[in-house]
Structure 1
Amino acid sequence: MTYLGEGWDSTAVLVDGWVQRRPRRAEIGPQLVRETAVMPWLAPRLPLPVPVPEVVSADPVVVRHRLVPGEQVADLTAAMGVQLGEFLLALHASSVDEAARLGVGPLVLPVERFRAEVRVPGGEELLARLGDLPADTLVHGDLGPEHVLGRDGVLTGVIDFGDVHIGDAALDLAWALHSTPPEFAAALARTYGVTAELRERASVWHRLGPWHEVLYGNDIGDPRITEIGLAGVHERLRSWVSPI
């Protein structure tokens, strides 16, 4: 058995080629079980490998899936941008009705907690934008560098679909357009067909990202994580120029 690490929601170990995941909190158990219903349907529709988990134990909840090849990519290239753009086109074209039948619901943002726990200049302006964002697309929900895998110059998989939901396609573009090398972001934008309006919505989601880190730090009582999150909130709000 090899310990693979832990995220905010679950821990993972590698056992005989299988990644076993366990929830870190009780409310995450149903989320892991939901993946076992959604991913077998979704995986064949996607151009990159993704986890296809199965239930090992219902109480306590343990799920497992075959190891998706690759590692976190240090140097994202234009060719990888094309690959991720094609992946997102396929994901976002998936049937919302079928996803809902399999248990996928809308994103519920903790706006009141944001308002109460992240009091920063410009924060209310950002929160006000959230009510105008659409919720009509099946999205990964947590697409970032730790969840996009590659090897030998190509992408090899996308992992961690615990936050999959019916929401705004721009959420999945937030990191890819605003926190990646220019050549990668440009190739992804061309492949996906990113419009100015979609890019602007992605910037809203990008600026909201560290707010979740603040709440997570507060939840687990770790002031260091809270401070890192607040620093990110301030940095991203300072760089935000609101549209006229």
Structure 2
Amino acid sequence: MTDLDRYRAAILRAFPDLAASDFRLLAESWDSTAVEADGLVFKFPRHEAAAGRLRKEAALLAMIRPAVSLPVPDLMLEEGPPLFSRHAKIPGEHLLTRHYDELPEAARRRLAEDLARFHAELHRLDPGRMAAAGAGPVEEWGGADRIGAKALPALTPELRPMAEHVLSAYDRLPAEPHEAIYGFFDGHGWNMAFDHGRQRLNGIYDFADSGLGPLHQEFVYSSFVSPDLTARLVAAYEALTGLGLDHRRITILTGMHRLWELAELADDPEHVSTMVRSFADWVATAGRF
């Protein structure tokens, strides 16, 4: 029996009316596997920690959904066993760099404005109430020395000077000037449901990494789509909220995030080359700071 067969059997025990449906693996990550059938998405946690995050995500989404303009999943839990979640699929596909590069000016501006509104609405949620619903602090990256000790040996000689510059700049950053917010902290294109035909964002999903954290860190993830998107998003957010953001701080944090990811996977031969390439991609667009 394949993994898909096992997931299908678990789903049909709860929803026998889907017996004639076509099932397909939608996505697999370290935490979970997603299966799609008849416009529904079923997410199965792969271990106990992921199961806890799935429960937390369902509780948080119940508070997020009425507070934001963009559609987010209406996550319902099925206790099983095995535990899994169910929600209607938000129509759309990932937004990757190659897709963004083809968007005209009007679509880029609209996307940045939609994302800025989403973040502003999310950040208005009371951190205390979100903590009571299960939101915890986002994962800390740790100090520059620890990250550098793991990341620098994995880099090519050409990339090390920029990495050392980022580490030094990060080490000298003053404390976050704004109070902690409840944020998404995962706003890359793999968590977007983008309608490529209409060139519109249909929704956002995967809130497992959301939590309480520093405001400026919220804006590092869109760089995986494009630095241009980050610049537009930050400008739109500032205009919408009246808050001034430190653009240099966001740049440093963006580079540091790539190095942190590399440090976390430096001993993983399957993924380390991908993390090195990710940092190299950022260096190619970072400019001076």
User: Aligned pair count?
Assistant: 239
Higher strand residue share = 1
Q: What SS does the aligned partner of 1:98 have?
A: helix
Cα pair 1:5 1:12 within 8 Å, conserved? yes
User: Which residue of structure 2 aligns with residue 169 of structure 1?
Assistant: 215
Correspondence list, 1:86-235, <5 A: 86-111=117-142, 114-119=147-152, 121-122=164-165, 124-128=167-171, 132-133=175-176, 136-151=180-195, 152-176=198-222, 179-180=225-226, 182=228, 184-185=229-230, 187-193=232-238, 197-215=245-263, 217-218=265-266, 221=268, 223-233=269-279
User: Which residue of structure 1 aligns with residue 71 of structure 2?
Assistant: 49
> Quick one: structure 1 residues 15 and 39, their matched pair in 2 at CA, closer, same or farther if it must change by over 3 Å?
same
The normalised TM-score by structure 2 is: 0.71
Q: Could you give the per-residue CA deviations for residues 5-53 of structure 1, whole angstroms, max 9, x where no partner exists?
A: 1133221111333211122343222111101111011111111111121
Q: Could you give the per-residue CA deviations for residues 128-182 of structure 1, whole angstroms, max 9, x where no partner exists?
A: 2577235611111111011122211211001111100111222232243685264
> Quick one: structure 1 residues 181 and 110, their matched pair in 2 at CA, closer, same or farther if it must change by over 3 Å?
closer
Which runs of 5 or more residues in structure 2 are unaligned?
1-22, 153-159
Cα pair 1:85 1:189 within 8 Å, conserved? yes
C-alpha distance in 2, partners of 1:43/1:17?
19
How many angstroms does 1:69 deviate by? 1.6
- Name the amino acid aligned to 1:233: F
Q: What SS does the aligned partner of 2:70 have?
A: coil
Correspondence list, 1:3-82, <5 A: 3-57=25-79, 59-73=81-95, 74-75=99-100, 76=103, 77-82=108-113
- Name the amino acid aligned to 1:163: D
Cα pair 1:19 1:66 within 8 Å, conserved? yes
Q: Could you give the per-residue CA deviations for residues 32-80 of structure 1, whole angstroms, max 9, x where no partner exists?
A: 1101111011111111111121221265432222211211232352111
Cα pair 1:99 1:138 within 8 Å, conserved? yes
C-alpha distance in 2, partners of 1:31/1:130?
31
Which runs of 5 or more residues in structure 1 are unaligned?
none
C-alpha distance in 2, partners of 1:32/1:44?
19
User: Which residue of structure 2 aligns with residue 2 of structure 1?
Assistant: 24
C-alpha distance in 1, partners of 2:227/2:166?
27
- Name the amino acid aligned to 1:210: R
Q: What SS does the aligned partner of 1:160 have?
A: coil
- Name the amino acid aligned to 1:192: Y
> Quick one: structure 1 residues 187 and 18, their matched pair in 2 at CA, closer, same or farther if it must change by over 3 Å?
same
Cα pair 2:166 2:255 within 8 Å, conserved? no
Cα pair 1:39 1:51 within 8 Å, conserved? yes
| Identical amino acids, percent of aligned pairs | 23
C-alpha distance in 1, partners of 2:174/2:207?
24
C-alpha distance in 2, partners of 1:4/1:103?
27
